[in-house]
Amino acid sequence: MRTPPDHRLNLRTILVLALLAGVLTIWQHSARASRQPSLPERMVIAVGRPLQGLFTVMQAWPRNLVTGLTQGSRLVRENEALRRKCEEAQAKITELNQCYLDLRAMVKSLGLTLEQKPEAVAARVIGLDTGASHCRATIAVERPGTVSEGDVVRQAAGLVGQVLKVQGRTAEVLLLIDPDAAVAGLDLRGRDQGIVYPQPALALPASRLKMEKIKPVAAFPDLRPGDVIVTSGLDQVYPMGIPIGKIEAVHKSPGSAESVTAIIRPFVDFFRLEYVWVLKKP
């Protein structure tokens, strides 16, 4: 006959576990002073991150299967069309490369230098941790050492955030909707500048951003719904010209015409991130 589960509290065991928890906490705090995870955390990360990657890949299988089964013929046609476009694009690239070489030769003969575009690395998003107090993503790159702290993360649509920590092939990204995130923004139409923060909302994590502390070009800020906001580069963290979002609404303070807040709908859907670009710091 087997014994029933013991639901009584053994204080000695609990005390040992509490002590262990205390040691692990202190270990983490002391390791964080040198901006590194503690040894137990590193062990968990070493096993957990590949698992995250595996789960992310596995999630795509059913979707790919369903898409293949239901839209196979359409995808074949689309593939053909894309292949043709790809060949046309390749031809244009060859042409542009020739132009670039000519331009470079011309610049060299004039004694000038060309501005280098930052190098970009593709990364897969393998984890998303969003809550009321933090919004972070975990990304994985092909090779270790290709991403470093402070690198800018973006999608074709717009700015995603900044690399906070790197651990081998994976990195933690501070998303633009994190309460700690901020970016210097620029209104493309009116050229007014300001700081873009996440917009706290009841349904956190934030799905909107807000632009405040506006520095207007004219006497008063001229922000209008529909205006596109891009990074201004003034924060020296994000390079200028990366799209952030579109103004959805403008709130003016009744007391002061200078006090304006723009609510921005970001171009990036932060909850459906799959692939991103990591721009290396220049």
Partner 1 sequence: MIWYYLGEIVLALLLAAGQVAWAPAGRWEGLAPDLVLVLVVLVGLFRGPEEAAWTGLAGALCIGALTSFPLGGLFVAYMGVGLAAGMLGQQIFSDRLPLLMITVFFAVWLARLIGLVFVPVPQFGGWLVTTLIVALYSALAALPLGWLARLVQPRTGPALTPTPGSSMLGRRS
- Pick the closer one to partner 1 by CB: 124 or 281: 124
List the interface residues with partner 1, window 74-113 (CB under 8 A): none
List the interface residues with partner 1, window 170-209 (CB under 8 A): 172, 179, 200-205, 207
Q: Does 274 bind partner 1 (CB under 8 A)?
A: yes
Among 13, 34, 73, 113, binds partner 1 (CB under 8 A): 13
Q: Measured between alpha carbons, how far is 234 from 214 in angstroms, rounded to an integer?
A: 13
Contacts of 56 (CB under 8 A, 6+ apart): 124, 125, 126, 127
Q: Does 270 bind partner 1 (CB under 8 A)?
A: yes
Helix (H, G, I), strand (E, B) or coil at 224: coil
Q: Does 24 bind partner 1 (CB under 8 A)?
A: yes
Instruction: State the minimum distance, in angstroms, from the CB of residue 138 to partner 1.
Output: 7
Q: How many residues bind partner 1 (CB under 8 A)?
A: 62
- The structure tokens listed for 93 are 């690239």
Q: What share of the chain is helix, strand, coil (3-state, %, to 5)?
A: 35, 30, 35
Q: Measured between alpha carbons, how far is 116 from 26 in angstroms, rounded to an integer?
A: 45
Helix (H, G, I), strand (E, B) or coil at 253: coil
Q: Measured between alpha carbons, how far is 91 from 108 in angstroms, rounded to an integer?
A: 26
Letters for 117-146 (x = contact with partner 1 by CB under 8 A, - = none) are ---------xxxxxxxxx-x-x--------
Q: Measured between alpha carbons, how far is 41 from 35 in angstroms, rounded to an integer?
A: 13
- DSSP per residue, 89-133: HHHHHHHHHHHHHHHHHHHHHHT--PPPPPPEEEEEEEEEEE-SS
Among 17, 82, 86, 91, binds partner 1 (CB under 8 A): 17
Q: Does 9 bind partner 1 (CB under 8 A)?
A: yes
- The structure tokens listed for 18 are 């509490």
Among 33, 47, 76, 81, binds partner 1 (CB under 8 A): 47
Q: How many residues does the chain have?
A: 282
- Pick the closer one to partner 1 by CB: 102 or 269: 269
Instruction: State the minimum distance, in angstroms, from the CB of residue 194 to partner 1.
Output: 20
Closest listed residue to residue 267, CA positions, set 236, 248, 234, 244: 244
Instruction: State the minimum distance, in angstroms, from the CB of residue 164 to partner 1.
Output: 8
Contacts of 29 (CB under 8 A, 6+ apart): none
Instruction: State the minimum distance, in angstroms, from the CB of residue 278 to partner 1.
Output: 18
Instruction: State the minimum distance, in angstroms, from the CB of residue 170 to partner 1.
Output: 10
- Pick the closer one to partner 1 by CB: 128 or 250: 128
Angle at 161 between CA 160 and CA 164, to 5 degrees: 145
Please give the residue ranges that form the binding site for partner 1 (CB under 8 A).
1-10, 13-14, 17-18, 20-21, 24-25, 28, 37, 40-42, 44-45, 47-49, 51-53, 55-56, 59, 63, 126-134, 136, 138, 164-165, 172, 179, 200-205, 207, 270-274
